Amino acid sequence: MYTMICVQKNTLEKGSVKKMITESIKKVKSLFKGMLERFSGGEKRRAAAEIALAYGQGGQTYVAKEFGMGRDTIRKGIKEIETGVEIKDKYNQRGRKSTLEKNPQLENQLHQILRSQSQADPKFKTERLYTNLSAEEIRIQLMKQYEYADEDLPGVRTLNTILNKLGYNLKSVMKAKPKKKILETDLIFYNLQRIHNIADEDENIVRLSIDTKDRVKIGEFSRGGKNRIEVKALDHDFGGIYVVPFGIYNVKEKTAEISICETKVTADFIVDRIEEYWVSNGYSNTGKTLLLNSDNGPESNGRRTQFLKRIVEFSMEHNTPVILVYYPPYHSKYNPVERLWGTLEQHWNGDLLDTKEAVIEFTKSMKFDQKNPKVTVVDETYETGVKVKEKLMRIYEKALERMAGLEDWYIQISPDKCKEICKSLTISV
């Protein structure tokens, strides 16, 4: 029994010693790895060589395996230690030279071709060249204009890589960018924010946002989008039948009404729709103020005489103060009703608007702010180009209170002042 206990004790002691040795070796390896990582180039190479020499036979293989280095690199370090001569690394001589390094003129030649856009004008009237600037075509032009042999030029794929590196990667054709600001832009937005904050707190102000959507072409044409069932569209979009949606969005109530017509949306059309909305929603003669947001379009801007005349008459007829607040040019996307058109496009894309009824029904089934819009069809035809004579407009203009500095962007209209100013006019009030 005593003998068995002694044997077990000796076995445990040997196991513990072996474990300690193993852990010590791991720590030493970790220490060497950390040391090598702090070195670079020749220093790292010679440090690895010293470890290999200290290890003895099989040292090169051991160091290469444990420290992830090539044996040739370790041999190089051993040679440096034995001879005392440092071997200089020549990184710049490694690998093949790039195409532009072998032919320094090629970059300038590519610039010349790309700036003039390929082959020459046959009539020599301009320096412009007419061809699609693919890498293959540019390669052909290099051979034509600079007399390269085919074997002297890189392949199409290599040339395409060179063009990308030079900044001539494929780009979409850009439309001319419009002027983003007018001098009054910041002031207009400041005033918009001010009056909107007032409207949010005043229950007596009804804020309406109005806009006309781009006309919608009727036909079996693709409008993009996706559908869960297969939809086949014509391979062209020729056609001359259109409808035009006009929207009124109540910003506070988050409700929308859309009128659809087949004629141009004129100043008279716009005011008729506003008047219908005002009456049908019970705002007439209530003393509530109409705050009207618009994008200063051609038929409803702050200088459109027929629109202003009709708004003055609307103010008097329904005893309604009116505030016209316009968004600056190139910023109509901030007009709340614009979101209505984006939602509508997403709703009917992927299907065919092949009839007027299809446009109407898709518009009715759309959800905007979790509500369906009220949709009406306007069959009345409106005369275009109606203007108010200058002499008569001067009288109406007296009823308009324009803000100094923002005369075209902020206009107040009081029904009482309108009635007083228009007493001299032979119109029914």
Cβ atoms 129, 121 nearer than 8 A: yes
Q: Is residue 46 part of a domain?
A: yes
**What pLDDT does residue 235 have?**
57
Question: What confidence score (pLDDT) does residue 4 get?
Answer: 45
Residues of the chain with pLDDT under 70: 1-28, 34, 89-95, 115-132, 170-180, 222-239, 350, 424-429
Residues 81 and 194 in one domain: no
Tell whether the torsion through CA atoms of 35, 41, 43 and 44 is positive or negative.
positive
Could you say which DSSP state residue 150 is in? G
User: Are the CB atoms for 332 and 301 separated by under 8 Å?
Assistant: no
* CA angle, 208 then 211 then 213, to 5°: 145
Classify strands 289-294 and 322-326 as parallel, antiparallel or unpaired.
parallel
**Domain total in the chain:** 4
CB neighbour class for 83 (10 Å; exposed up to 12, middle 13-18, buried from 19): exposed
35-43's contacts with Cβ under 8 Å and 24+ in sequence apart are 36/67, 41/89, 42/77, 42/80, 42/86, 42/87, 42/89
Q: Are residues 68 and 191 in the same domain?
A: no
pLDDT value at position 127? Answer: 45
Q: Residue 18's pLDDT is what? A: 55
Tell me, yes or no, whether 127 and 269 share the same domain.
Answer: no
Would 21 be classed as within a structural domain?
A: yes
**Within-domain flag for 139:** yes
Pair (229, 130) in one structural domain: no
pLDDT of residue 298: 92
Residue 285: inside a domain: yes
Q: Is 188 helix (H, G, I), strand (E, B) or coil?
A: helix
Predicted pLDDT of residue 426: 55
- Which residue range(s) make up the domain with 77? 39-88
CB of 254 closer than 8 Å to CB of 293: no
63/5 same-domain check: no
pLDDT confidence of residue 118: 40
Residue 243's DSSP bridge partners are 216
Q: For position 319, what pLDDT does the model report? A: 95
One domain for residues 22 and 116: no
Q: What is the pLDDT of residues 301-321, one digit of tens each?
A: 999 999 999 999 999 999 999
Same domain, 158 and 62: no
pLDDT of residue 230: 58
Is 178 inside a domain boundary?
no
DSSP for 53-74 reads: HHH-TTHHHHHHHHHT--HHHH
| 173 lies in some domain | no
Q: Is 345 found in the same domain as 275?
A: yes
Q: Determine the Cα–Cα distance for residues 22 and 15; give it in Å rounded to an integer.
A: 11
Q: In Å, what is the CA distance from 211 to each residue of 195, 280, 338, 347?
A: 19, 19, 7, 19
Residue type, 248: I
229: which residues sit within 8 A by CB, 6+ positions away?
Answer: none
What is the reported pTM? 0.59
- pLDDT for position 175: 54
Position 120 scores a pLDDT of 42
Same domain assignment for residues 329 and 227? yes
> Which residues are registered as beta bridge partners of 289?
205
